[in-house]
Each structure stands twice: as C-alpha cells, then as structure tokens.
C-alpha cells in the first residue's frame, strides 16, 4: 500500500472504515491507496495505481487544468468540503473515458496533508441514504485520523538520510536529513525521481539496482553514488536499498537509507595518493612504477615490441642538501620533476624513487635507439639552472638504460640492469647515459665488495652514531635525540647512509647494524646530562628485517641491561612499510616492547600503505609525521588541511605527534598551533657527533 504500510495502528483503523470506492493521495497527488471496488471502474488491477500520479486517471487534454486545480485545493482545502460532488471524466487503463462524481475530504497526520477522494460512476443509481452514509463514514475516518495520537516513525526522526521510492524510482517520501544532504526542500524532492540532483556519471546506478530487485533478487543492495548539492559541491553517499514486498512477494516500493561518506572518501583518496605517489613530487612511486612495468612486460609478451627502463640519478645532490639544507633540496627535486614531466610522453611513466633517483618507463619504442633519444630529452631539460630565493643551482643527472623486449628478464632484473648501467655511467660518463651491457654486471660485484667492507667496518669500529635533537615545540628545549649511523671508510672517506644502508638491507648485515645501533646509542645516552631533572630519551631506527627478527626483543633487553638506561628512555622507530609487512607479528613485537617499558614510534607516517583502521590496530606511542606533510613542495589549503587532519588524528588517538623536517620558524609556529608536541629538522640542528650532544641539551631554542 505504498507509504501507508509504514504507518501505525492508527492508519489501519482509518483504512478499516474507508469505503471501497475511495482513493487516498498525498499533497503531491501520488496515489497511496485504491479501494477494491475501483478496480473494475478504472480497469487497473493488483495495486497498479499505487505510487502513480492521480493525473494517470485524467484525460490528457485536461491534465494541466486538473493539476492546477489540485494544487489550489492542496493549498486551500476549504475551497471544497466533504460531500460536495463534482463531475469528471475518468481515463481508464484501456483509454476509454467514463463520467464519475468525486467527493473530496482533506485530513492531516503528523503535519502531512492527505486527501480522500470518493469516486463513483455518475450513471449509477445512488440513494440519498447511501450518499449520506458514505459522507458520514468519510467524516468519521477523517475525524479518527485527526484525533489519533500523533506519532513519528524512525524514518521521520532518523538522523540518517532516508527516502521511499516507488517502482519507477519516483521519491514518495524524504526525511529532513535527506533534504539537508542535497540542499533541497521536500517539495522539490517528493513526487520526482533523483535524476535532477544525481551526478551525471551516476545516473544509471539506481535504475540498475531497481531492475535487479524486480527480477527477483531479495538481498538488500549497497552501493555508492554521487549527488550534486544545490550549492554545486559533490556529495558522495553510501546507499542501502531494500525492497518492500506485499504478502504475495511482489515489490511495492523501496526503502533507501544513505550515509554521507564524502569526507571519508576524500581522506582515503588522499592517503591512496600518498600510497602510490611520491608526496614530494607528486610522481608515481616505486610501487606504482613496478605495477606499470609489469603491465608493459605482459603486453610485450602478447604483442611484441620494444620498451626501456631509464634510471636517472642526480649528480652530487647530497651536496645541495649539505650546503643549502633539505628545504631547498626538496624544492629542487620538485622543480626537476616538473621539467621531466614536460618531456614525458603520454604512453610513458615517470617515477620518483626518493632521494636523488627517478625512474622512467618508455613504451612503444620504434627502435632501441629511441631510448637514447628519450634519455637526451630528459638530460636536456636540466641545462638551464634552477633559482630558489636568489640562489642559482646547476643540477645534472646520469642515466642508466635497460632495454626490454619480449624475451627480456623479469622486472627485478630489469631494474638491476638499469642500476648497473647507471653505476657505469656515474663511473665513466657522469652527466650522460649508458645502455646496459651484460659485461657491466661487474658493477654488481663491486657492490658485493662494498657489503664485505661494511662487515669489516662493523668489526673494526669504523661505524659511529650521530644524534639529531628532538625539540619540545612548546618550550624549545631538547627532550630527545634520534640516533643516525655514519660510516667513515679509511680509503673512501665518508660513505652516505643512503649508499650503505640499502646495501645492508639486501643482506643479513642489516640486523647486525641494528644491534650495533642499539648498543652504541644506549651506552652513549647513559652519559647524557639531564635537562630540568629529566634525561633525554634516545630513538633508534630498526629496519623491517630487524624488527621482524625473532631475536630483536632479546637484543633490546641485553642492551638495556648492559647500559643501565631505563627502558622509558628508549624509543624504537619503524617505518609504515616495516610495520605492515606482517601486522600480526608487528602487534606481538610491539606489545612485548611496551611491556618492557620501551616505546614505539611509527616513522614516515603518510608515505606508506597504512589505513586508519590499521593505525588503530598498531597504536604506536609516537606518530612521526613525514617531512612531506610539513614541507610540501607547493603550499596549498589542501596540504594545510591534510597536515591538520593528521596531527588531530594522532592527538585524538592518544599518541605523541612528532613532525620531521622542520626547516623554518614559521613551520614550527604552525605545528605548535595545530597541537603537534615534538619536532626535529634542520631549523634546530642536523645530526651531531656524540661529543656535541651535551651542548644541545643545555640549549633551548627560541622562535
């Protein structure tokens, strides 16, 4: 019976006294009840009129006039009274017309207007007694409806947007929450379908779901669609749609409940963007690049053709960071990315691996010589110097090229070949490019040798730990230090961690380096003076392999015991990717560390694959916001909003929020205003040797 089926016993008592020749319509003229005796008169059967407009029964040539008369009656029902008859021509289903007499009676329930129309064939004999009886029954029904206790269904009071729709997707009822959702009044919604405020690309979604129900599917449907709010912004909703059926199992109408997921989807989209794109440059990251490369290789296997992988390494980029700081270094990287994009073909993929490396996938090459042409175009865009804040920086790059056809090696080997060629170019043709040749595999041997020398360095105490201060943003005092490993080779001099750490991560040596870092940092932290009665804590980075090593907790216990440092002064840092390698194992290890009194920090938050649900599982003690949030290459309201959201998220989850990469006093002030507790970066100090730590502890920074 349409919407009336949703009403309480008051409705059922009302309908019990209605005569069989009445039609009940709402203020918009939508039919909600048809008396049994009218089936023969109208030619419609089995509730076919339910949900349709009353104009269905009006001949076409007078529909417009009838619509106006109905609208006037709805606004002022006193214009006609109960029992007052008028004659109309009624259009049957078979398009024949019959003359009928109509008596109208208005009533309202819960502030909603309804009309009962008594319809009889004008040619039939009606006794005055019968007419009087009908009028009396209609009067009783109206009085009963108006005198019943007012009720409010969960539909009307629900804070979730809800609507009822008929079999033609016409909205027959909408609650206030739905009206607010799309920014429209109920009068603009009820009696119409949703096409006027549905996103153009989502127009077919509701119809497809409706057809599924009409074909017999009984399971409720859940789907996502978009509306266009009156003010023009797009609203993303999660829709739950269920059919309401009669006793015979036929669908009579649909109940639709909706949830506004706009902000949730936008946040997910931003985090997805962070997961598959480099936050500094906006380019594809390694994960997305490897996926594109796998797709390219699959196409080569099916169709043949030629492709190439180019690995670009910026020459002496570390010197830029050491001279001007990471803030300028990041600006340079973003500027280089924009220039590379200018010469990137639509068929190709450009990626930033991080630090000073870019990857380029060139597809659909006419010949392998064309790969060299692509390399020259990329190198040529670096010919003009970059200028930042009046500082001129000349930046060059070196390129290694690995060629790929149907018979080429797998993805990992292709990247290794490009790396080998890049190394050869660095050695012989810096600032140019080299195409991989199998003879170049000797470069891999060299890297192996470097790993062996790293073993020697560890045994001969060539490795040391430096410490970057962590500052309390409210007071400017140093409360902790992050320990960072350094290697001074007796012949090669200082070797960057960006060189030897990745090499160590490819071998079991990384676990030994982690143990060395723990022992050294704790033994040196034991000698640190207290500041205001509290000794600074020390933070030690543990690799993915080290964190998931069975012996980690034992090494930490031994190191704490050996140094005598309280467990509360030790923080173990792990990256998102390390934590999510095996979430179950991460949770077990984290719990064991926290039982010892050791805190855990989640490093580089926002650059990996963590979701909000996973963050609630991991619940680190400290949330380290990646420097890409703090120092974005291009300031924007979106970046500001995302930074604020991450700081607020960490604080509300009871975590200490620490921002990395603070380069300016303005960033310090902004982060403190947002509620960020701790920070580190070049604005305060780079990492220093152990003999300089005491001076930093005694120092308080001023904004």
Q: What is the pLDDT of residues 349-393, one digit of tens each?
A: 999 988 899 999 999 999 999 999 999 999 999 999 999 888 889
Give the model's pLDDT for residue 17: 59
- C-alpha–C-alpha distance, residues 602 and 544, integer Å: 12
Region 122-132 average pLDDT: 48
Pick from 309, 221, 218: nearest CA to 257: 221
- C-alpha–C-alpha distance, residues 126 and 104, integer Å: 17
Across the beta sheet with 251-260, what order do the strands follow?
171-174, 162-165, 251-260, 234-245, 221-228
Pick from 522, 584, 565: nearest CA to 514: 522
Give the model's pLDDT for residue 609: 45
Q: What tens digit of pLDDT does each residue of 657-670 get?
A: 999 999 999 999 99
Give the model's pLDDT for residue 309: 96
Instruction: Give the CATH architecture of domain 2-147.
Output: 2-Layer Sandwich (3.30)
> Does pLDDT of 511 surpass 60?
yes
**Taking all residues of the chain, what is their mean pLDDT, rounded to a whole number?**
84
Which pairs with CB-CB distance under 8 Å and at least 24 residues apart come from 350-354? 350/283, 350/284, 351/278, 351/283, 351/284, 351/285, 351/286, 351/288, 351/289, 352/278, 352/280, 352/281, 352/283, 352/284, 352/285, 353/278, 353/285, 353/286, 353/289, 354/278, 354/285, 354/286
Domain with CATH 3.30.450.20 in the chain: 2-147, 154-260
Which pairs with CB-CB distance under 8 Å and at least 24 residues apart come from 3-6? 3/32, 3/164, 3/172, 3/173, 3/253, 4/32, 4/33, 5/244, 5/252, 6/153, 6/155, 6/164
9 band by pLDDT with thresholds 50, 70 and 90: low
User: Which residues touch 22 (CB under 8 Å, ≥6 apart)?
Assistant: 33, 35, 38, 116, 117, 118, 119, 138
Q: What tens digit of pLDDT does each residue of 239-291 get?
A: 998 888 877 778 888 888 899 988 888 877 777 677 788 888 999 998 899 99
Q: What tens digit of pLDDT does each residue of 446-462 get?
A: 777 888 899 999 999 89
Of residues 39 and 524, which shows the higher confidence score?
524
Of residues 606 and 30, which shows the higher confidence score?
30
Placement of tokens 């003076």 in the chain: 529
| Burial call 38-67: b when 16+ CB within 10 Å, e when fewer | bbebbbbeebbbbbbbbbebbeeeebeebe
**What's the CATH code, domain 154-260?**
3.30.450.20
Region 14-20 average pLDDT: 64
Pick from 187, 46, 57, 54: nearest CA to 115: 54
User: Which residues touch 596 (CB under 8 Å, ≥6 apart)?
Assistant: 553, 556, 557, 560, 567
> Does pLDDT of 300 surpass 50?
yes
Region 292-311 average pLDDT: 92
> Does pLDDT of 131 surpass 70?
no
Domain with CATH 3.30.70.270 in the chain: 268-436
Q: Which of 598-612, 637-651, 671-685 has the lowest mean pLDDT?
A: 598-612
Beta bridge partners of 260: 237
pTM to 2 decimal places: 0.47
Dihedral sign from CA coordinates of 331, 333, 336, 340: negative
Region 172-178 average pLDDT: 89
Give the model's pLDDT for residue 114: 81
Q: Which of 294-303, 313-322, 679-688 has the lowest mean pLDDT?
A: 313-322
Give the model's pLDDT for residue 448: 78
Give the model's pLDDT for residue 76: 67
User: Which residues touch 520 (CB under 8 Å, ≥6 apart)?
Assistant: 464, 465, 483
624 band by pLDDT with thresholds 50, 70 and 90: very high
Between the two ends of the chain, the Cα-to-Cα distance in Å is 71
Give the model's pLDDT for residue 524: 96
Give the model's pLDDT for residue 464: 95
Please check whether the domain covering 448-697 is classified as CATH 3.20.20.450: yes
Q: Ranked by mean pLDDT, which of 185-189, 468-472, 636-640, 645-649 comes out on top?
A: 468-472
Tell me which fold the domain 268-436 belongs to. Answer: Alpha-Beta Plaits (3.30.70)
Give the model's pLDDT for residue 18: 67
Q: Are 49 and 31 in contact (CB under 8 A)?
A: yes
169 band by pLDDT with thresholds 50, 70 and 90: confident
515 band by pLDDT with thresholds 50, 70 and 90: very high
Q: Are 623 and 576 in contact (CB under 8 A)?
A: no
> Does pLDDT of 547 surpass 70?
yes
Q: Which of 18-27, 230-239, 438-447, 463-472 has the lowest mean pLDDT?
A: 438-447
Phi, psi of 416 (to 5 degrees): -65, -40
Region 495-505 average pLDDT: 87
- Could you say which DSSP state residue 23 is in? E
Classify residue 481 as left (phi > 0), alpha (psi -120 to 50) or beta: beta
Extract the tokens encoding 293.
Answer: 């490369």
| Beta pairing, strands 478-489 & 537-541 | parallel
- C-alpha–C-alpha distance, residues 683 and 679, integer Å: 10
């Amino acid at each position: 019976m349409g919407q009336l089926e949703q009403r309480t016993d008051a409705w059922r008592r009302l309908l019990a006294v209605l005569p069989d020749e009445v039609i009940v319509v709402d203020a918009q003229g939508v039919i909600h009840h048809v008396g049994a005796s009218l089936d023969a008169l109208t030619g419609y059967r089995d509730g076919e009129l339910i949900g349709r407009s009353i104009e269905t029964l009006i001949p076409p040539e007078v529909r417009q006039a009838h619509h106006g008369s109905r609208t006037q009656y709805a606004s002022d029902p006193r214009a006609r009274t109960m029992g007052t008859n008028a004659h109309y021509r009624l259009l049957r289903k078979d398009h024949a017309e019959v003359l009928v007499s109509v008596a109208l009676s208005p009533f309202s329930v819960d502030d909603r207007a309804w009309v009962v129309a008594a319809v009889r064939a004008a040619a039939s004999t009606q006794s005055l007694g019968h007419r009087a009886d009908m009028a009396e029954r209609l009067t009783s029904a109206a009085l009963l409806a108006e005198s019943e206790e007012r009720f409010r269904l969960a539909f009307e009071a629900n804070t979730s947007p809800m609507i009822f729709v008929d079999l033609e997707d016409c909205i027959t009822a909408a609650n206030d929450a739905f009206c607010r959702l799309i920014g429209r009044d109920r009068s603009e919604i009820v009696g119409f379908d949703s096409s006027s405020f549905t996103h153009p690309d989502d127009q077919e979604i509701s119809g497809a779901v409706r057809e599924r129900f009409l074909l017999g599917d009984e399971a409720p449907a859940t789907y996502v669609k978009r509306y266009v709010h009156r003010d023009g912004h797009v609203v993303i909703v999660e829709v739950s749609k269920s059919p309401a059926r009669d006793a015979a199992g036929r669908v009579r109408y649909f109940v639709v409940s909706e949830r506004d997921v706009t902000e949730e989807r936008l946040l997910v989209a931003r985090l997805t963007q962070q997961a598959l794109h480099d936050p500094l440059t906006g380019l594809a990251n390694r994960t997305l690049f490897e996926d594109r490369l796998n797709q390219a290789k699959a196409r080569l296997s099916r169709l043949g053709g030629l492709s190439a992988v180019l690995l670009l390494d910026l020459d002496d980029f570390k010197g830029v960071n050491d001279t001007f700081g990471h803030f300028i270094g990041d600006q340079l990287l973003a500027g280089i990315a924009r220039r590379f994009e200018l010469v990137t073909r639509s068929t190709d993929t450009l990626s930033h691996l991080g630090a000073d490396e870019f990857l380029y996938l060139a597809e659909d090459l006419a010949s392998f010589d064309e790969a060299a042409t692509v390399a020259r175009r990329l190198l040529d865009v670096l010919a003009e110097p970059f200028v930042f804040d009046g500082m001129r920086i000349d930046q060059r790059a070196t390129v290694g090229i690995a060629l790929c056809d149907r018979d080429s090696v797998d993805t990992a080997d292709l990247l290794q070949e490009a790396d080998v060629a890049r190394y050869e170019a660095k050695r012989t043709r810096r600032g140019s490019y080299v195409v991989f040749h199998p003879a170049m595999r000797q470069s891999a041997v060299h890297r192996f040798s470097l790993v062996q020398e790293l073993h020697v360095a560890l045994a001969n105490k060539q490795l040391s730990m430096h410490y970057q201060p962590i500052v309390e943003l409210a007071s400017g005092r140093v409360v902790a230090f992050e320990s960072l490993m350094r290697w001074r080779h007796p012949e090669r001099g200082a070797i960057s961690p960006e060189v030897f750490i990745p090499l160590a991560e490819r071998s079991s040596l990384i676990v030994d380096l982690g143990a060395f870092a723990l022992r050294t940092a704790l033994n040196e932290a034991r000698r640190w003076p207290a500041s205001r009665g509290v000794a600074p804590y020390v933070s030690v980075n543990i690799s993915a392999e080290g964190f998931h090593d069975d012996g980690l907790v034992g090494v930490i216990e031994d190191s704490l015991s050996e140094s005598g440092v309280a467990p509360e002064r030790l923080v173990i840092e792990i990256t998102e990717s390390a934590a999510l390698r095996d979430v179950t194992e991460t949770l077990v290890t984290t719990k064991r560390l926290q039982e010892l009194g050791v805190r855990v920090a989640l490093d580089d938050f926002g650059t990996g694959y963590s979701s909000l649900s996973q963050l609630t599982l991991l619940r680190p003690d400290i949330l380290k916001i990646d420097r890409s949030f703090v120092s974005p290459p291009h300031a924007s309201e979106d970046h500001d909003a995302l930074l604020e959201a991450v700081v607020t998220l960490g604080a509300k989850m009871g975590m200490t929020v620490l921002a990395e990469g603070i380069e300016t006093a303005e960033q310090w002030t902004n982060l403190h205003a947002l509620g960020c507790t701790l920070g580190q970066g070049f604005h305060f100090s780079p990492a220093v040797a152990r003999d300089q730590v005491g001076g930093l502890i005694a120092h308080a920074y001023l904004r």
